[in-house]
Chain A
Amino acid sequence: MSRIVTYFIPCPVCKMPSEQRIYHSINTSIDNAAQLILDDKINFVDCKLCNNKFQVKAGLLFNNMVKTYAVYYHPTTFALHEKETVGIKKMFGDNFYLANATKFHDWSDFKAEIARKEGKVASVNLRDTPKKAPGSTMKSFLDNYWSCDICDGNSETGCLYFDPSECPRTN
């Protein structure tokens, strides 16, 4: 189940309010849910009048029931999520994954965490990233980036298989 709320949201450019469906939670029962988040297709809306694309920053819980992890994003506060977490802990115990979601205020960090857990590369929003001087290490970092869905390792952590020499991927 995904929680979707319909709002009348004014466009920051033309100021015309329009009805928009905003996700407050999304899970992997929706096809490519993680990829949709990584591609900035969740809670990014297009103004029907002026075609301006803008982000609606709202609390969003990403729940991967298969890999049993959850990541939460909210631009300003975690208070509401923490209130919900109390109820979840009462029902399912302190160690239940939904009660221990990793929380982020920053959308890029939220996406990076999902990309890390899913073993994917998040799309980089050029408007959000500071401009780098020519010859920056960003491109080389992305070129050399890898992640493994067997051991959850990536180019930063290295292979996390209990004995890297026996890793099924390299063998």
Chain B
Amino acid sequence: MVNFFRKRATEKGIQTCPHCGEEDILFGLGGKCLECGQPIPRNDKYLSLEFAIESFTEFFVKYDKIFSPAQKANPIKFLLQLCKDYSLLDPIPNSKIIQLQSIVKNVGRIGGEEIGGVIVMTNGNPTLQVAKNFNGMHGDPIDNMKSLGGVIVAMQYILSYPVKNEFVIDTDFPAVAKGKTRSEPTPAKGGCLKRTATFFLVLLLLSIIIYFV
């Protein structure tokens, strides 16, 4: 995951920390250097969002062991489509960002022992639960902690990204998550023909029964 951060940050224009001189692999997302903890300038808002989405997607796709492949299928499809479809020239629409924020906020728990811990959403904020069993952990523990820290910062960035108070549905027959099309006739005004007919039918049946009894 650390290599992924470095690669993506380099592609977007990696900066070095003015205090310790180390490369800022988190692309200034948290506003602090991952190495020395000193303040670091933030990058372009939109590029940072792209970086945050790519990081969260990478973690969710490759390192999460809590969700089953079936549970992951839909969110991953949405996230990968988001990474593929949009660039600086074609910014992410407001509604897609709201859907993304909804996925991140309602993710519950992601991670696993192999990466060294689990990220838990507590009251809308991602928090880290370090794995008790270090034997199950793969790779360098420091790198794993940096990875988890980086993903938490990415999730926080996505959740705090400003959105408009509206939701756009692009098509007339879309399937955002569930699409039930229904044509509704106007409720009948007055009219009691059905009830009267039923009443007389019951009356007729009763009369026949009484007659034969």
Contacts and interface: CB of A to CB of B under 8 A. Distances in A.
Interface stretch (B5-13, B100-108, B203-211): B100-108
Interface string B181-213: 111111000000000000000000000000000
Given A15-B102, A17-B102, A24-B172, A10 B183 contact: no
Contacts of A29: 185-186
Interface string A69-81: 0000011110011
Contacts of B177: 7-8, 17
B178 interface: yes
A6 B99 contact: no
B164 A12 contact: yes
Nearest to A6: B180
Contact-residue bracket for chain B:
20 to 34
Given A5-B181, A8-B176, A55 B166 contact: yes
Interface residues of A, number: 33
A1 B182 CA distance: 10
Contact of A15 (B98, B172, B174): B98
Nearest to A30: B186
A1 B170 contact: no
B185 to A, nearest CB: 6
A6 B165 contact: no
Interface string A43-83: 00000000010111111000000000000001111001100
Interface string A153-168: 0000000000000000
Contacts, number: 95
A99 B183 CA distance: 20
A150 interface: no
Contact of B167 (A5, A10, A80, A81): A10
Nearest to A3: B183
A77 B184 contact: no
A124 to B, nearest CB: 17
A10 B172 contact: no
B171 interface: yes
A9 B167 contact: yes
B139 interface: no
Interface string A1-26: 11111111110110111010010100
B142 interface: no
Contacts of A22: 169
Of B99, B172, B176, most buried by chain A (CB within 10 Å of CB) is B172
Given A15-B101, A56-B166, A76-B168, 19 more contacts: A3-B182, A4-B184, A5-B179, A6-B178, A7-B169, A7-B174, A10-B167, A12-B94, A12-B98, A12-B164, A12-B166, A13-B165, A15-B102, A15-B105, A15-B106, A16-B106, A22-B169, A52-B165, A80-B172
Interface of B: 94, 98-99, 101-102, 105-106, 124, 159, 163-174, 176-186
